[in-house]
A and B are shown apart, each in its own frame.
Chain A
Amino acid sequence: MRLERIVVVGNGIAGLTASDSLRAAGFDGELTIVGDEHHSPYSRPALSKAALLDAEEMTSHQLPDSTHDARELLGRRALQLDPDLKTVVLDDGSILPFDGLVIASGSRARRLAGADPAARKHELTLRTLEDALELRRRIADRPSVVVVGGGTLGMEIASGCLAAGCEVTLASHHQPMVQQLGPHLSEVFLAAGLSHGLKFAPSRAIGLREAGGHPLVELADGSTLAADLVVSAIGDIPNTDWLADSGLLTGGRLEVDSRGRVRPNIVAAGDVAAFPTSRGITRIPLWTSAIEQSKAAALALLNGDDAPELSFSPYFWTEQFGLSLKASGFLPLEGAPELLEGGPDGGPALMRWSHADGSGTAVALNYRTPIPKLRRLANPAPALVESPA
């Protein structure tokens, strides 16, 4: 069936890439993008890295103008999907009919504070452009900061706040970065943080309340951490609420097939979608994941089974505490690496881990190398086998 009207819900990098890919593949019908943010898409990864350090005006997140020539409905939220009527209901009451739908509604930041508004006003998260602008504004006065969460985002925020001159304590019951990178590199990142002046509170944050006009983070060990400002980075929640009665969710998750499809005329991509990987059906809420998923999903929407399956090769990077890490392959990493170049403990180094399933992960730490080379190091092409003539 030839599609004439495609609606894309979500205007982040997934929605943008899907829209571009639809046009590049020849879709010249009516294309409508719905985005709950008021902006054109921007680089979310930059918000916790260079954008926190931009001197005067924040520019590191800016992306070039789009070329897909779609009708953009920004500042509007999708509230409901009826896959049989093929309509999306928006928060202004309007109803968008579609032949084809791309679900790229992303995810939102999990929060520590409960419903208490007094506590909530002290807690920042970092997900959107507004969040980043607010964080930049607040750290300009060099407040004391508690960062809750020892994942990549939490560590990058802690690094940015320290660079801005703040006193920073990071609360996490996991050793920082251990869930993302495994124990070996976690040691390297924690050491770098501590050497930059980071304070580490190895306990789970269980609550946030206000006391005397300041926030208090309550820890599982019974102690509290006082600060002028609390920034939490404790994970994301996929934006699937609007799909609750669509019949498309499986155990609360939006699962897609190997081409990004939920139904023949409905695809999903980006942080909202759980997709089949060699490690099972899972969400991988990362920049390159969103881009690769979106390209595959757009083609599957137009070409069905003739479209190529998603062949996803994870790519991850982080910058914090003077360390720049790029990794190709699945994470986290168990055990010690094979050192290919450079020295141990903080690099510059090129490292490789082998996994039980035969795949590998290559990591460049403070080591500039072309990404195609990193990909080849991670998973070398099978040796050519001589075949009978």
Chain B
Amino acid sequence: MEIILDRPRCEGHGLCEEVAPQLMHLDDEGELVLDVVHVNEDQLDAAKQAARVCPVAALRLA
């Protein structure tokens, strides 16, 4: 599975980073950086939770 970021939609709330810091972080400018794009089975739940907490649905899995 791949994490897909809809960057224009991202508002930099950072709630995704709070639940999946091993997969993504906000840089100093508040821009979301995906540290992992292709998630393995062990990372899938964290990726789903990160996509879930985003209040603007800027993340999805495909």
By the criterion CB–CB under 8 Å, are A64 and B51 in contact? yes
Those of B5-62 within 8 Å (CB) of chain A: 9, 11-15, 17-18, 26-31, 45, 48-49, 51-57, 59-61
Chain A contact residues, CB within 8 Å of chain B:
16-17, 20, 24, 43, 45-46, 49-50, 59-64, 66-67, 287-288, 291, 315, 317, 319, 324, 326, 368-372
Besides A24-B49, A317-B11, 7 more A-B contacts (Cβ < 8 Å) are A43-B57, A50-B9, A60-B57, A63-B52, A317-B55, A324-B11, A372-B18
A-B pairs with CB below 8 Å: how many? 72
- Contact with A371, one of B15, B29, B48, B57 (Cβ below 8 angstroms): B15
Contact residues on B (Cβ < 8 Å of other chain), bracket? 20 to 34
- Which of chain A's residues have a CB closer than 8 A to the CB of B57? 43, 46, 59-63
Interface of A, secondary structure class, is: mixed
Residue among B14, B27, B29, B49 with the most chain A CB within 10 A? Answer: B14
CA distance A46 to B11 in the complex (A): 12
Residue among A17, A49, A61, A291 with the most chain B CB within 10 A? Answer: A291
- Contact with B48, one of A64, A315, A369 (Cβ below 8 angstroms): A64
By the criterion CB–CB under 8 Å, are A67 and B48 in contact? yes
- Which of chain B's residues have a CB closer than 8 A to the CB of A16? 52
By the criterion CB–CB under 8 Å, are A368 and B30 in contact? yes
CA distance A287 to B11 in the complex (A): 15
Closest 8 CB pairs of A and B: A371-B14, A368-B30, A370-B26, A64-B51, A45-B55, A369-B30, A370-B30, A287-B55
Given the interface contacts A64-B61, A67-B45, does A371 sit within 8 Å of B53 by beta carbon? no
- Which of chain B's residues have a CB closer than 8 A to the CB of A369? 12, 30
- B48: shortest Cβ distance to chain A, in Å? 5
- Which of chain B's residues have a CB closer than 8 A to the CB of A24? 45, 49
